[in-house]
Amino acid sequence: MKAAFSSYLDGIAPGLKKLVELLGEDFDYVSVLSTDSVGFSVAISQRAKSVNHSTMMTERGSVLRVRRGGLYSEYAFDRFDPARPEKTAEEARRALNEQFALLEETASAVYETAVLPDEPCELRAEMETAQLPEDCDLGALVDSFSDMSARGVKLGEHAIDCHVRGQSTHVCKLFLTVNRDMRQSYVYSEGMCAVIAMKDGAVKFGYESVSGREGPEIFEKLGEKVEKVVGIAEELLTAERMEPGEYEVIVSPEVSGLIAHEAFGHGVEMDMFVKNRALGAQYIGKRVGSDLVTMHEGAKPEIQVASYAFDDEGTLAHDTVEIRNGILKTGVCDALSALRLGVEPTGNGKRENFEHKAYTRMTNTVFESGESTLEEMIAAVPYGFLLAGMQSGMEDPKHWGIQCIIDRGYEIRDGKLTGKVVSPIVMTGYVPELLGSISMLSRDHELFGSGGCGKGHKEWVKVSDGGPYMKAKARLG
Amino acid sequence: MENFILDLLRASGADGWTVSDEVRRGWEFYFIRHALDQNRVRDVEHITLTVYKKFCEGDAEFLGSASARIAPTASREEAERLISRLLSEAVLIRNPLYTLHEPRGEAVPVGETPDLRAISGDFLRAMRSVEESAEADVNSYEIFADCVTRRFISSTGVDVTDVYPVSMAEVVVNARREGHEIELYRMYRSGSCDAAALKANVEETLRFGRDKLRAEKTPALGRCDVVLSTGDARQIYDYFIDRMAAGMVYQHISDCEIGKRVCEDAGGDPLTVRAKRRLENSSKNGAYDDEGAPVRDMTIIENSVAKRFFGSRMFSQYLGLQDSFMPGNIAVDGGSASAAELRTGRFLEVVEFSDFQVDSSCGDIAGEIRLGYLHDGDAVTVVEGGSVSGTMRELAGAMRFSKERKQYDNYLIPAVTRLGGMSITGAE
């Protein structure tokens, strides 16, 4: 079925068009992004349960973007009366004029930017989904999650609880300028199962997730993961600490995604080029990885949680090849940064929600697959670790340093897994060295889209990332 | 918020309900160097409804709940549909019976409305006043100043309102020498703008940047004492605070027990942690928590012994606490030695991590070193790269911290914290 576009947004669109027209008298560029996204979140454990209708992307509101004197300004609001657009126009003018007065008083210089192009575009994209979150039987879902939670505790010798969570969101966005009328509607969902195990006072979490641009039916796959999650939690209880050093490693698709996203992806967000904050600007056309490394970024090449028709600035989704055979080709770019850099935007202008500024942000970031099997890759490691599960990562675009905190490592000796597990693992190093050391890639790949991505320590948006198993050398601690 | 929402809730048949109505007016400024990239205004209202239903299964009594945001422009019909849906969903949630907060004490007078123009002006002028040089300067910064008006209403008669400022400044600095340029990142949160503190902290970060230019790779130190003297130390104290949260205790993720030590006694400084109703210029000086409970001063941990859990109404009642709340501000008492005394012998003082983390459930510590000072007697080497790791379960008992304290927004903590025998992975 098609995910139907919001009737609320359709209803206020004429009023918003009038608002754009009214402000066009004062400003030389005006756009408005309006959102009406609904969803639910259900969380079940043995000791606490909840249901609510807030997810990372549920929202209803609008943001105006206007330009005057080379300066772009924005006004975010959520009390729009479509019958009285002149009222909102006046409120926006008054609010921004108060700021302009302060900027004049403080003699603030302006970073001048040209007028955004406004090529005509009409689009109404209602994407396929099997089920809408609005139609989901939450009673059945609560029962299903309760069964999974009970099973997780029963299966684990040391399990003290099993948390099961699912979120599903129906996203609707409307983007209007004088010449553009773009409307999109899609559904994405994410779920996770986490088992908490305790032994001798030590507490450990096993964790697995599911995600996709799919409806709540995706949560059926969570049930298949309970047994694996129990196994992970039990393994972590007996895990040893990592002996610091440089090792040959095979990283799982989840860790490949962490590297793609944190270690590399942030470094080629081109708003950072404008601020001279990214080393990537100096590496375009240069080698940053081995011949095996090809990496895509974009809302178009994969169907995952960040696969949309257009971004929050009205730019159509792209498939950007950032690295081809180890050579950095380009980065990704929002519309304003593209103007400043003299390049084309890539459909990566995203906001946390309508209240927040748009930045260059990642969507789906993924390494291309290779020719090997996982078994061949393990057999090729004399001594090292198979790294699996991600806890967190932190970007360092200026220096291309890596910090990835990885859940667990499985020891490999003489081409065989020994059964020894180490945890947690801090992987550090220099991105071109790590990507340059990639010597084998598995044939398949997988993407992960649970959780969110921040810029610095704020501005959380949905992304996915992944890749194949990759064999490389890395510094572990 | 439209009054019909309250009327509908009162007539809904819910066994309880709460409404949080937060009006947020925000001014934002984004600078590249000192040129304005963009200015923004936010004028929004967040209304969250929660409805509760009591029900029984056999002898067991439950209180289920369901919540949702409702748009400020929602019609009466939309509100009616939403409340009806929430009522049907609340009975799906089998949480053991508990009660909502009742009104307590005298209402705290509503504060003055923050002046966004004045606060923003203070930020703009403070950032302009930072002393920069050709070697170290400000790359970019973002200023956020919000006026928050928050009203909390419940079926039990709670109806309280708070007005307070919330601000944030994100600052990126560069330092460069002979074609090599580095960057450091800082995020400052506060109530309004403390111009002097912001200027001093950004200038300290510029000094760190200059030092980073001459940093050597961190050697593989094996076990080494680590000193923390920046906001990253909050993570260390959060380990103890999180473990005193009623939710963590009730769910058995924390094994803290009232009257028992929160860590083993291994010669460290005794730890005392207090919830504070107010801290000067904190962004968390609201008089009430998210559930409408009044916030007050309270000792959580005293001399390393658990005194009092805190938390949400549901988890607190499950632990038998009747007048609990979720604190906004935290103060940790100073230790026995001065900062100078703690900075003696051989130790690594890390002032910049990529992302310093302490896992409150298991105590694991991890962070990549972006800038550190390796002290060995009088010798000091500036280092970068590599990582620190360890676990609070082993390190907490011997932890030392300074008499002097320093405030980071809603945390007042010892200025210097020393953890013995952490594992240091080198970058060489």
DSSP code string of A376-389 = HHHHT-SEEEEEEE
How confident is the prediction for chain A on average, in pLDDT? 95
CB spacing of B73 vs A81 below 8 angstroms: yes
Nearest to A277 among B39, B43, B172 (CB): B172
Q: Is the confidence at residue A128, as pLDDT, over 80?
A: yes
**CA dist A396 → A464, B84, B127 (Å):** 19, 48, 24
Across residues A90-108, what is the average pLDDT? Answer: 97
Distance from C-alpha of A333 to C-alpha of A271, rounded to nearest angstrom: 7
- The answer to whether B237 and B228 have CB atoms below 8 angstroms apart is no
Q: What is the pLDDT of residue B420?
A: 95
- The answer to whether B181 and B174 have CB atoms below 8 angstroms apart is yes
Q: Which 3 state secondary structure label does DSSP give B289?
A: coil
Task: Give residue A404's pLDDT band: very low, low, confident or very high (50, 70, 90).
Answer: confident
Q: Among A370-374, B152-156, B179-183, B419-423, which stretch is predicted with the lowest mean pLDDT? A: B179-183
Q: Which 3 state secondary structure label does DSSP give B256?
A: coil
* Residue ranges covered by each domain of chain B: 3-212, 217-425
Tell me, yes or no, if A102 comes closer than 8 A to chain B by beta carbon: yes
Q: Which chain A residues have a beta carbon less than 8 Å from that of B209?
A: none
Q: What is the pLDDT of residue A352?
A: 98
* Residue ranges covered by each domain of chain A: 7-106+123-237, 245-476
Which residues lie below 8 Å from residue B205, measured CB to CB, with a gap of 6+? B171, B173, B184, B186
Q: C-alpha angle B58/B59/B62, rounded to 5°? A: 90
Q: What is the pLDDT of residue A398?
A: 80
Q: What is the pLDDT of residue A211?
A: 98
Q: What is the pLDDT of residue A429?
A: 81
Q: Which chain B residues have a beta carbon less than 8 Å from that of A71?
A: 36, 38-39
Q: What is the pLDDT of residue A400?
A: 83
Strand partners, A327: A287, A324
CATH 3.30.2290.10 fits A7-106+123-237, yes or no: yes
DSSP-derived secondary structure for A342-408: TS---S-EE-SSTTS--EE---EEEEPP-SB-HHHHHHT-SEEEEEEEEEEEE--TTTTEEEEEEEE
Q: What is the pLDDT of residue A137?
A: 97
Across residues B311-322, what is the average pLDDT? Answer: 95
Tell me, yes or no, if A340 comes closer than 8 A to chain B by beta carbon: no
Tell me, yes or no, if A233 comes closer than 8 A to chain B by beta carbon: no
Distance from C-alpha of B336 to C-alpha of B400, rounded to nearest angstrom: 8
- The answer to whether B162 and B155 have CB atoms below 8 angstroms apart is no
Q: What is the pLDDT of residue A152?
A: 97
CB spacing of B367 vs A426 below 8 angstroms: yes
Q: What is the pLDDT of residue B2?
A: 85
End-to-end CA distance of chain A: 49
Segment A47-87, tens digit of pLDDT:
999 999 999 999 999 999 999 999 999 999 999 999 999 99
- The answer to whether B274 and B296 have CB atoms below 8 angstroms apart is no
Which residues lie below 8 Å from residue B134, measured CB to CB, with a gap of 6+? none
Tell me how close the Cα of B27 comes to any Cα of chain A, in angstroms: 8
Q: Which 3 state secondary structure label does DSSP give A92?
A: helix
CB spacing of A75 vs B37 below 8 angstroms: no
Determine the residue of chain B that is closest to A44 in CA distance: B93
ipTM over 0.90: yes
Strand partners, B26: B42, B146
Task: Give residue A390's pLDDT band: very low, low, confident or very high (50, 70, 90).
Answer: confident
Tell me how close the Cα of B23 comes to any Cα of chain A, in angstroms: 11
Q: What is the pLDDT of residue A379?
A: 98
Q: If you ran DSSP here, which 8-state letter would residue A427 be given?
A: E
CB atoms within 10 A of CB B15: 17
Task: Give residue A405's pLDDT band: very low, low, confident or very high (50, 70, 90).
Answer: confident
Q: Is the confidence at residue B172, as pLDDT, over 90?
A: yes
Across residues B32-43, what is the average pLDDT? Answer: 97
Burial class of residue B10, CB neighbours in 10 A (0-12, 13-18, 19+): exposed
Scanning A170-209 for CB atoms below 8 A from B yields: 196, 198, 201-205
Task: Give residue A391's pLDDT band: very low, low, confident or very high (50, 70, 90).
Answer: confident
Q: Which 3 state secondary structure label does DSSP give B94?
A: coil
**CA dist B297 → A391, B247, B370 (Å):** 35, 20, 37
Compute the count of residue pairs across chains A and B with CB atoms less than 8 Å apart. Answer: 219
Q: Which chain A residues have a beta carbon less than 8 Å from that of B385?
A: 401, 428
**What are the structure tokens assigned to A145, written together?**
């999650």
- The answer to whether B245 and B254 have CB atoms below 8 angstroms apart is yes
Across residues A349-376, what is the average pLDDT? Answer: 97
**What are the structure tokens assigned to B73, written together?**
């422009």
CB spacing of A49 vs B42 below 8 angstroms: no
Segment A8-41, tens digit of pLDDT:
999 999 999 999 999 999 999 999 999 999 999 9
**What are the structure tokens assigned to A390, written together?**
């991600």
**Strand residue runs (E) in B158-250:** 159-177, 180-190, 216-217, 222-228
CB spacing of A102 vs B124 below 8 angstroms: yes
- The answer to whether B376 and B353 have CB atoms below 8 angstroms apart is no
Distance from C-alpha of B292 to C-alpha of B315, rounded to nearest angstrom: 15
Q: What is the pLDDT of residue A451?
A: 82
Segment B338-397, tens digit of pLDDT:
999 999 999 999 999 988 999 999 899 988 899 999 999 889 999 998 889 999 999 999
Which residues lie below 8 Å from residue B26, measured CB to CB, with a gap of 6+? A355, B40, B41, B42, B43, B116, B144, B145, B146, B147
Q: Which CATH architecture fits B3-212? A: 2-Layer Sandwich (3.30)
Q: Is the confidence at residue A394, as pLDDT, over 80?
A: no
Determine the residue of chain A that is closest to B49 in CA distance: A52
- The answer to whether A136 and A166 have CB atoms below 8 angstroms apart is no
Q: Is the confidence at residue B106, as pLDDT, over 90?
A: no
Across residues A415-438, what is the average pLDDT? Answer: 92
- The answer to whether B317 and B272 have CB atoms below 8 angstroms apart is no
Q: Is the confidence at residue A285, as pLDDT, over 80?
A: yes
Q: C-alpha angle A452/A266/B361, rounded to 5°? A: 40
